[in-house]
């Protein structure tokens, strides 16, 4: 077998692996809406469970990195990047997303706004990292967004501070694009687990004042009950420690623009999970939307073949 054929086969397997990793992270984030909704329904303050989730996730990653000897010291030149990374996400993103959903009074509309992340990410990828996106990729992204609209489109009551909620959600979208861009710039020098560990530990410092002054309002023994801590632990370990570590690998491999299209599928995954658990019914229009979104993702990852150079290696 020629060297070029071996290289092509290895590249194909690598792509399958990274797509599998990406989808697994998205599935975890889709399920996270179920656990987050449980906490909100129990009237647990956002500033309480977000802080505990992020701190716990950072601590878990610290233990894992310490046990495997993979903790790397932050280089002085990268300190501003890590501070900015944690500021974008978890601080800005989680706060603006959570309160955005609350203020709009429409989780469906909120999900649609969050799903516009790829549109902004394409611009960031091209502008800052010279990533190549062809016409088929752009068509796939637009098709994915159309599918998302079909899945999550429904009538709903709007909150009193609807416009303010929309502004918060747009800020959340921009912060996610910033997060992906900074992550891309750091991914060449640090492992995924180390980046996410520092991101969450620094982020928990940003969230601490909100936790102390707002999250502890009305604190009672109920905040320490199993009904509260079970979803928090699931969110911290699965949806933060694991999913974010996988996502850094995705950004590193696919780039800012192409990886973002997977994040747009979170509302679709959330709808499917809710349907499978019996929390929501999906109609024909929504199933069509899921199929359209899936096709859009495939097209968004399409790359044109480049002529292979003669490697000079014979059979």
50 or 287: which leads in pLDDT: 50
For 152, which DSSP code?
H
Cβ neighbors of 28 (< 8 A, separation 6 or more) are: 238, 239, 242, 243
Check pLDDT > 50 for residue 6: no
As a 3-state breakdown, the chain gives helix, strand, coil percent values, each rounded to 5, of 80, 0, 20
Q: Of 66, 153, 122, which is closest to residue 261 (Cα–Cα)?
A: 122
Q: Are the CB atoms for 149 and 289 separated by under 8 Å?
A: yes
At residue 109 the predicted structure's pLDDT band, cuts being 50, 70 and 90, is: low
Q: Of 41, 32, 176, 159, which is closest to residue 96 (Cα–Cα)?
A: 176
Phi first, then psi, for residue 153 (nearest 5°) are -65, 120
Q: Are the CB atoms for 146 and 267 separated by under 8 Å?
A: no
> Tens digits of per-residue pLDDT, 217-261?
888 889 999 999 999 999 999 999 999 888 888 888 887 767 777
Kindly compute the dihedral angle of the four CA atoms of residues 111, 112, 114, 117, in this order, to the nearest 10 degrees: 150
- pTM of the prediction? 0.74
Q: Of 14, 25, 64, 5, which is closest to residue 197 (Cα–Cα)?
A: 64
The mean pLDDT of 62-78, rounded to a whole number, is: 91
Check pLDDT > 80 for residue 90: yes
27 or 233: which leads in pLDDT: 233
């Amino acid at each position: 077998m020629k060297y070029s054929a071996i290289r092509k086969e290895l590249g194909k397997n690598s792509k399958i692996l990274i797509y599998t990793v990406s989808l697994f992270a998205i599935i975890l984030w889709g399920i996270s809406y179920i656990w987050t909704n449980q906490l909100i329904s129990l009237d647990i303050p956002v500033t309480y469970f977000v802080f505990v989730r992020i701190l716990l996730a950072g601590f878990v990653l610290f233990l894992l990195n310490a046990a495997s000897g993979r903790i790397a010291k932050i280089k002085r030149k990268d300190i501003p990047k890590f501070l900015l990374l944690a500021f974008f996400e978890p601080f800005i993103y989680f706060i603006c997303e959570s309160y955005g959903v609350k203020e709009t009074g429409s989780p469906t509309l909120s999900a649609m706004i969050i799903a516009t992340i790829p549109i902004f990410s394409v611009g960031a990828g091209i502008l800052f990292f010279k990533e190549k996106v062809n016409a088929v990729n752009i068509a796939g992204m637009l098709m994915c967004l159309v599918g998302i609209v079909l899945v999550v489109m429904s009538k709903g009551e709007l909150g009193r501070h609807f416009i303010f909620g929309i502004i918060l959600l747009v800020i959340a979208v921009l912060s996610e694009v910033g997060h992906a861009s900074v992550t891309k710039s750091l991914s060449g020098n640090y492992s995924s687990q180390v980046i996410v560990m520092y991101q969450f530990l620094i982020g928990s410092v940003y969230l601490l004042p909100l936790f102390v002054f707002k999250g502890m309002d009305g604190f009672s023994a109920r905040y320490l009950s199993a009904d509260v801590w079970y979803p928090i632990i699931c969110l911290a370990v699965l949806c933060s420690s694991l999913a974010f570590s996988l996502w850094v690998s995705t950004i590193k491999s696919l780039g800012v623009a192409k990886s973002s299209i997977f994040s747009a599928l979170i509302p679709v995954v959330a709808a499917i999970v809710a349907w499978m658990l019996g929390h929501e019914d999906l109609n024909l229009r929504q199933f069509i939307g899921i199929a359209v979104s899936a096709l859009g993702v495939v097209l968004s990852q399409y790359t044109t073949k480049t002529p292979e150079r003669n490697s000079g290696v014979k059979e």
